[in-house]
């Protein structure tokens, strides 16, 4: 059998429609066992044109290796989504920290190392002062308690949609508190997030260009409204500073483009990480009642439970890199310019790292999941995502001592975000 034929037979983990019922874990396992770095076709689906294809990286060690090696696998050359951006949009997209390479990486041929990457990460890190973190936790706890109680008390026949009743508002309102967005403007952030994240989902309205065809929701034209708002909010914070992240950024010496891209990154990633992880965690617990009992009885810690729930339901399924030079990965020759896509959800179920990985074990230790990535682009907001998830589960133990699934979840159609659009739970 020729190599081309073998690759053609590799399980497809690209098609977003495969994720409508959850990540394709059986396909991931077959790839890990037999084609741990496999070539994937990139056909036209859901109105999007065909692409050149990419290498799917599915084992934990290789995923971590790619994420840590920015000198070989670039975030800047082709950005970080599987689909290729319009070349005309690349300079714009590279303004975002996520689509830059650290200065030590180097990137022959353009794209490349950006001395600003470290500076921008340090700026945001300094904005998270201990006092701000403490106040944020108190606000998040009060919000979690109020939302959970309202969901429980308002449940019709004891059943509520936890996404609509709790987790969407919890993630969004925590983010807007952190940023300092006025209450009247908070719906805008949800609208912008859904436009960017849900672009693959046929149930969601697509972003359309002037010709009526789908366009990349991350293109400059589609983000103009968000960027204009970011500048207005920053100007307001310069005149009326508050104890929030936008005040820190507005006084941090950022250029206009840097500030706009920071606002975009914080709005979308800051919202959707928790928005995807929170219902996924409750879904896992509803399907594993014995584990929930261990949690309610204090047999396992909430911190440890959060880590296992993140392993089980990673908010981000995949990230793309581009090879800067010819290399070899898991015995496969990778050519300069090839797309290389790491699958976090597969790495988190790798039997080579996790004992009995298809079993939810809230006491699992060690637990080196890659749900927040690794290397120079490890999620900058991971600490705050963990904090929000811990607080939400701590309050749920008090308010919802028993939950069970009351129907199947409705999932986001996406090969990027592991989203849950609806989660019916029996909560009383």
> Which has the higher per-residue pLDDT, 208 or 180?
180
* DSSP per-residue codes, 162-197: HIIIIIHHHHHHHHHHHHT--GGGHHHHHHHHHHHH
Tens digits of residue pLDDT in 10-34: 899 999 999 999 999 999 999 999 9
Average pLDDT of the residues of the chain: 88
pLDDT of residue 217: 64
Q: What is the pLDDT, as a whole number, of residue 104?
A: 58
* 3-426 under CATH 1.10.630.10, yes or no: yes
Q: Does residue 141 surpass a pLDDT of 80? A: yes
Residues 6+ apart with CB under 8 A from 78: 84, 85, 90, 111, 320, 322, 339
Q: Is pLDDT above 80 for 343?
A: yes
- Domain residue limits, the chain: 3-426
Asked if pLDDT for residue 204 goes beyond 80, the answer is no
Give how far the C-alpha of residue 290 lies from the chain's centroid of Cα atoms, to the nearest Å: 28
Backbone angles phi, psi at 189, to 5 degrees: -65, -40
Please give the average per-residue pLDDT across 61-86, as a whole number: 94
Q: Which residue has the higher pLDDT, 124 or 392?
A: 392
The 10s digit of each residue's pLDDT in 81-95 is 998 988 888 888 887
pLDDT class for 209, splitting at 50, 70, 90?
Answer: low
Q: What per-residue confidence (pLDDT) applies to 97?
A: 80
User: What is the reported pLDDT for 229?
Assistant: 92
Residue 210 CB contacts under 8 Å (≥ 6 apart), including other chains? none
Contact status, residue 350 vs residue 322, Cβ threshold 8 Å: no
pLDDT at residue 121, rounded to an integer: 74
Confidence of residue 125 (pLDDT cuts 50, 70, 90): confident
* Residue 221 in this model has a pLDDT that exceeds 90: no
pLDDT at 215 > cutoff 80: no
Task: Please report, rounded to a whole number, the percentage of residues in the chain having pLDDT higher than 70.
Answer: 88
CA distance 300 to 394: 12
pLDDT at position 283 is 97
Assess whether pLDDT exceeds 90 at residue 154.
yes
In the chain, the percentage of residues whose pLDDT exceeds 90 is: 62
Specify the higher pLDDT residue, 382 or 418.
418
Q: What is the model's pLDDT at position 111?
A: 45
């Amino acid at each position: 059998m020729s190599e081309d034929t073998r690759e053609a037979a590799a399980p497809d983990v690209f098609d977003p429609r495969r994720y409508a019922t959850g990540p394709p874990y059986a396909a991931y396992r077959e790839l890990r066992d037999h084609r741990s770095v496999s070539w994937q076709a990139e056909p036209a689906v859901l109105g999007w044109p065909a692409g050149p294809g990419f290498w799917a990286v599915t084992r934990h060690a290789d995923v971590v290796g790619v994420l840590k090696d920015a000198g070989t696998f670039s975030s800047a050359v082709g950005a970080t989504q599987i689909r290729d951006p319009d070349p005309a949009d690349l300079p714009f997209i590279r303004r975002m920290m996520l689509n830059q390479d650290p200065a030590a990486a180097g990137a022959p041929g353009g794209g490349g190392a950006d001395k600003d990457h470290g500076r921008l990460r340090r700026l945001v890190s300094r904005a998270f002062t201990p006092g701000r973190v403490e106040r944020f936790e108190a606000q998040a706890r009060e919000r979690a308690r109020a939302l959970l109680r309202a969901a429980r008390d308002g449940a019709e026949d004891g059943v509520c949609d936890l996404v609509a009743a709790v987790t969407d508002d919890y993630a969004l309102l925590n983010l807007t508190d952190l940023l300092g967005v006025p209450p009247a403007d908070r719906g805008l952030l949800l609208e912008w997030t859904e436009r960017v994240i849900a672009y693959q989902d046929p149930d969601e309205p697509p972003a359309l260009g002037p010709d009526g065809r789908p366009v990349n929701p991350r293109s400059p034209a589609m983000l103009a409204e968000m960027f204009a708002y970011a500048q207005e909010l920053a100007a307001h914070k310069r005149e009326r500073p508050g104890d929030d992240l936008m005040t820190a950024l507005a006084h941090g010496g950022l250029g206009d483009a840097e500030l706009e891209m920071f606002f975009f990154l914080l709005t979308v990633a800051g919202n959707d990480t928790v928005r995807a992880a929170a219902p996924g965690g409750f879904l896992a617990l509803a399907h594993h009642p014995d584990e929930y009992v261990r949690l309610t009885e204090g047999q396992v810690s909430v911190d440890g439970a959060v880590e296992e729930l993140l392993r089980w339901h990673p908010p981000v399924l995949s990230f793309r890199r581009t090879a800067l030079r010819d290399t070899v990965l898991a015995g496969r020759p990778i050519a300069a310019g090839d797309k290389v896509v790491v699958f976090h959800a597969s790495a988190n179920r790798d039997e080579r790292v996790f004992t009995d990985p298809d079993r939810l074990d809230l006491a699992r230790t060690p637990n080196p999941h890659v749900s927040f990535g690794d290397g120079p682009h490890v999620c900058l907001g991971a600490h705050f995502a963990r904090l929000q998830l811990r607080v939400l589960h701590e309050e749920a133990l008090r308010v919802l001592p028993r939950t069970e699934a009351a129907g199947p979840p409705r999932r986001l159609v996406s090969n990027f975000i592991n989203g849950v659009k609806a989660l019916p739970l029996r909560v009383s």
